Structure 1
Amino acid sequence: MKTAIATNVIDSDLTAIGIMDFDGLQKTVAAAYDAFPKNFFHTFAVKANALVEVLRVLREYGMGAEVASPGELLIAKNAGFLNQDIIFDSPAKTLHDLRTCIKNDISINIDNLQELTRVEQLMQEHPNTKSVIGFRINPQIGGGAISSTSTATATSKFGYPLADANNRQELINIYRQRPWLTSLHTHSGSQGCALELMAKGIEVITELAEEINNNIGSQQVVRIDIGGGLPVNFASEDVTPSFADYAQILKKNVPLLFTNKYQVKTEFGRAIAAKNGVIITRVEYTKNSGGRHIATTHAGAQIFTRTAFLPKSWPIRVTGFSAEGIEKTADTCEVVTTDVAGPCCFAGDLICVGKQLPKLVPNDYVMAHDTGGYYFSNHFDYNSLPRVGVFSVSGDDENLNFSCIRKADSFEDVANKM
């Protein structure tokens, strides 16, 4: 904070800013590759942080890109990802989306039988495509602690429901009749899901891949895409679970993935980005109401969308700093019960509620930790922030270097930088 203030990255005009730690990103990507064997290739879920400069360094660190919309595909291309390193996963692909992917050798995961019909037509138009094409499978193994992010329930909107009716045999027949189907995909976990549950979903599709190949009599399915969804610990700085923890459970439950028989792809997002970014916002006003100290800032539901609308599922840690960038602690300030509020005009626009924090005053700063994924790159009302900046930071504690990723005053400026 002191360095950011001294270099005018943060000044008295600041409303909200996001800072990404590029050194931390590099270490996190390295940890992912170190945890898995060489037949694993890791892609980054672009929706987790759709900033071109962040994606560009992730590409340089060796990651591919998983995209779920045409906009994300455009951003990934602007960040320099090669077509063969991109996977398009949207459950609502238009015919144009599918044609773009197949024509340009971008891999896709088919969500349903109606989409399969479209893909078949396009395969006749582009029989020499190098797109790796497969089905997204819903293993229907159940959900985790957060229902809104559970993707493997019996009624999930995602993927081909494997356990319904005669779907398993129908899918085997589909693959037997279409040799261009060479992949299987599932995304069975996310925040709130136990690693064992995620591994179970991956075990299901690995067994399915073996069954398809055995039925055909050769290895037609050569890629297994195990999705992402590794949970993040938002309660402290500790990185738990780690990629190594996940790899150990996968190796125990699905050892075939570690034998080099299949190419395995991942789609980590939050686990890559979250702990490598923070949001800092300025306290504009404070007051007391009903015995509660309320600090009004410029970062609320328009940035911390999930936290504002689902605070029990998505709590975040906050730290207060003085206007000079000095951390406020119980040794230096009175600790009071505090709500940190955002600028939006509804009662639920709160970053945290009833927290014991060193007392905040106007022109202090609040830092929200672990917000490098699904926060500052996805706020829904950009024009509500009169000044937004996103910076990268690298170096050790005494020699920090800041570089601008994005700093703009209007939506048009942002669009021109994409």
Structure 2
Amino acid sequence: MTSSDITGAAGGEPYGPTETAARREQAVRAAVRQGLVGPADPVIGLLDVADIRASAAGLRAAFEEVTAPGTPVLHAFAVKAASLVPVLALLADEGLGCEVASPGELALARAAGVPPSRIVLDSPAKSVAELREALALGVAVNADNAEELARIDALVHTAPVTSPLGLRVNPQVGGGTIEALSTATETSKFGVPLRDEGARAWLVRAFLDRPWLTRLHAHVGSQGIPPELMARGVRETYELAEEINDAAGQRRITALDIGGGLSVNFASDREHPTHREYARTLRHAVPGLFDGRYGLVTEFGRSLLARHGTVLARVEYAKTAGSRPIAVTHAGAQLATRTVFAPDAWPLRVAAFDAEGRPKTGPVVEQDIAGPCCFAGDLVARGRPLPRLESGDLAALLDTGAYYFSNHFAYNSLPRPAVHGFVRTSRGVRFALVRPAQTLDEIVAESGGDRPGALRSI
């Protein structure tokens, strides 16, 4: 089966928690029966295709409810959240574009068949070569700072430009519960700081002097940012756009890129907040944003994919230490990097399955779920109450559809696992290979295996 075999799965409204969990359990059993996971392949990723489609449809519907008819809206998926070409192609089928932040991500979006007109380039460190390529393709670009804007000045004067061009601002409205993901703090590295002395006047003049500069971009942060704070940042950006247009005496700013960053509830199957709830929060906070005068761009990532992925890892050994049961699995920091190093900010639910892929039953005991990496802190869960896991059982890390498959940490040269998409049919579960497991030969090759004597020759 190829990825094209699953493009006919139905979209529509997001499935409820019970239906999603039932499909996940059926997929785990099928993965075991079909030999996708086992002693030879002890860790894999699973992606629920029907839920991904439904999530994309739900996002589109959420903003259609609050925007004036005919308003141009581009939902550009944040590629860093799931940098897998088949995923990007699936989302493109559902009407989404791509937000990219590197030459690699741009190449992935293009490989997925996403047209340049539906790609947005954001990055705080774009090189001249990156900017030149984006402008030549017609990809939208959001400049991050004054120096980058000067580079674009030089480029637009040397060749015709069709790319929508914007400027990122930092509304400086504050941070959320995860400092590293809060991008609208007073000293954030992103964008032009809106409240710094002289910055607002500089921004107005920058747009008045450049008729080709037609967008404003802001992104308050991601996980840990409450929707109300995100809406405050959007409102600050909208008010700046109004000020610029008033100063220009015409509609100079024609579109606002409001970023993404909606948080995910990792505590249960309940989706909260939803894209619909956030869209309504925005409409209440910034009603003028939706009256049809401005086009909109969004950049959601985690909130679209997280809930629809599962890491399935075989328990290699079951042991105890200090009377604490420990299940040693093949999924640790190499996949769940943030969870291992910042467990309070990135907790994951763990589900227990037996060796046949059936939900595990029996007395619940507190146990640690450990990974394969060679350091003591490689634990994806500590003291977690679960039916006791034994060798050959399976530990499922839930809500891992975003970042866990695209931010591999090559500790101990552990290979990237295979990722499979699945759909449920009347005949059972069908799988499509999204990405094959990394081979040992590939690990050796990317580690300089073709030049073992390189350092001896100098």
Shorter-chain TM-score bucket reads: over 0.9
SS of match in other structure, 1:400: strand
1:2 aligns with 2:29: yes
- The match for 1:34 is 61
Q: Does 1:245 align with 2:277?
A: yes
Contact 2:370 2:379 in 1 (8 A): yes
Match of 2:341 in 1: 309
Q: Is the 8 A contact 1:251 1:258 kept in 2?
A: yes
Q: 1:412 to 1:33 in 2, by over 3 A?
A: farther
Residue 168 (structure 1) aligns with: 200
Confirm or deny that 1:96 pairs with 2:129.
yes
User: For 1:370, which of 399, 408, 411 is the aligned residue?
Assistant: 399
* CA deviations over 1:372-407 (Å, ceiling 9, x no partner): 001022212188345721100112597221111111
Number of the residue aligned with 2:429: 400
Within a 5 Å distance, the mapping from 1:121-270 to structure 2 comes to 121-126=154-159, 128-270=160-302
Shift of 1:130: 1.1
Determine the C-alpha separation between the residues in 1 that align with 2:274 and 2:253: 29
- How far apart are the structure 2 equivalents of 1:217 and 1:367? 58
Q: Deviations over 1:80-118 (max 9, x none)?
A: 111111111011101100111111111111111111111
Distance apart, 1:246 and its partner CA: 0.2
**1:408 match: secondary structure:** coil
Cα shift at 1:14 = 1.9
TM-superposed CA distance for 1:2, in Å, is 1.3
Kept in 1, the 8 Å contact 2:72–2:296? The answer is yes
Distance 1:398 1:340 in 2: 34
AA matched with 1:406:
R
Once residues 264 and 214 of structure 1 are traced to their aligned partners in structure 2, the CA distance between those partners, rounded to angstroms, is 19
2:370 is the alignment partner of 1:341 = yes
TM-score, normalized by length of structure 2? 0.87
CA displacement 1:169-216 (0-9 Å, x = unmatched)? 111011000001000000013111110000000000001001001100
1:251 & 1:203 partners in 2: Cα distance? 10
In 2, the alpha carbon distance for the partners of 1:7 and 1:149 equals 39
For residue 299 of structure 2, give the secondary structure of its aligned residue in structure 1.
Answer: strand
**Displacement of 1:302 after TM fit?**
0.8
- Matches of 2:30 and 2:426 in 1, distance apart? 9
Tell me what 2:10 maps to: none
Aligned residues: 412
Residues of 1 paired with 2:169 and 2:202: CA distance? 13
Match of 2:420 in 1: 391
Per the alignment, do residues 40 and 412 of structure 1 end up closer, same or farther by CA in structure 2, a change over 3 Å counting?
A: farther
1:12 pairs with one of 32, 39, 43: 39
CA distance, structure 2, for counterparts of residue 80 and residue 155 of structure 1? 37
Q: Which amino acid aligns with 2:115?
A: L
C-alpha distance in 2 between matches for 1:105 and 1:338: 53
* CA RMSD of superposed structures (Å): 1.7
- Letter of the 2:102 partner, please give it: S
1:350 paired with 2:379, answer yes
CA distance 1:382–1:402, shift in 2 (3 Å): farther
Q: Secondary structure at the match of 2:157?
A: helix
State how far apart, in whole Å, the 1-side matches of 2:144 and 2:82 are: 24
Q: What SS does structure 2 have at the residue aligned with 1:96? A: helix
Name stretches of at least 5 consecutive residues in structure 1 with no aligned partner: none
Question: Is the CA contact 2:78–2:98 (under 8 Å) kept in the aligned structure 1?
Answer: yes
Quick check: 2:348–2:397 contact (8 Å CA) kept in 1? yes
Aligned-pair CA distance for 1:39: 3.3
Cα distance in 2, alignment partners of residues 8 and 383 from structure 1: 26
Alpha-carbon distance in structure 1 between the residues aligned to 2:379 and 2:408: 15
> Compared with structure 1, are the counterparts of its residues 94 and 157 closer, same or farther at alpha carbon in structure 2 (3 Å cutoff)?
same
CA distance in 2, matches of 1:162, 1:387: 41
**386-395 vs 206-215, which deviates more?**
386-395
Q: Is the 8 A contact 1:286 1:294 kept in 2?
A: yes
> Whole-Å Cα distance in 1 between the matches of residues 54 and 416 of structure 2?
30
Q: Give 1:352 deviation, angstroms.
A: 0.6
The letter for the 2-side match of 1:230 is L
Contact 2:33 2:356 in 1 (8 A): no
Q: TM-score, normalised by structure 1?
A: 0.95
Task: Note closer, same or farther for the CA distance 1:357–1:397 as it changes in structure 2 (3 Å cut).
Answer: farther
Q: What SS does the aligned partner of 1:121 have?
A: helix
Q: Percent identity?
A: 46
Q: 1:55 pairs with 88, 103, 109, which one? A: 88
Query: 1-side partners of 2:327 and 2:245: how far apart?
Result: 60
SS of 2:37 mapped into structure 1: coil
The answer as to 2:331 corresponding to 1:293 is no
Provide closer, same or farther for how the CA distance between residues 382 and 123 of structure 1 changes in structure 2, counting only shifts above 3 A. Answer: farther
2:149 maps to 1:116: yes
Secondary structure (helix, strand or coil) at the match of 1:395 reads strand
Distance 1:262 1:411, change over 3 A: farther
The question of whether the paired residues in 2 share the 8 Å contact of 1:98 and 1:119 is answered with: yes
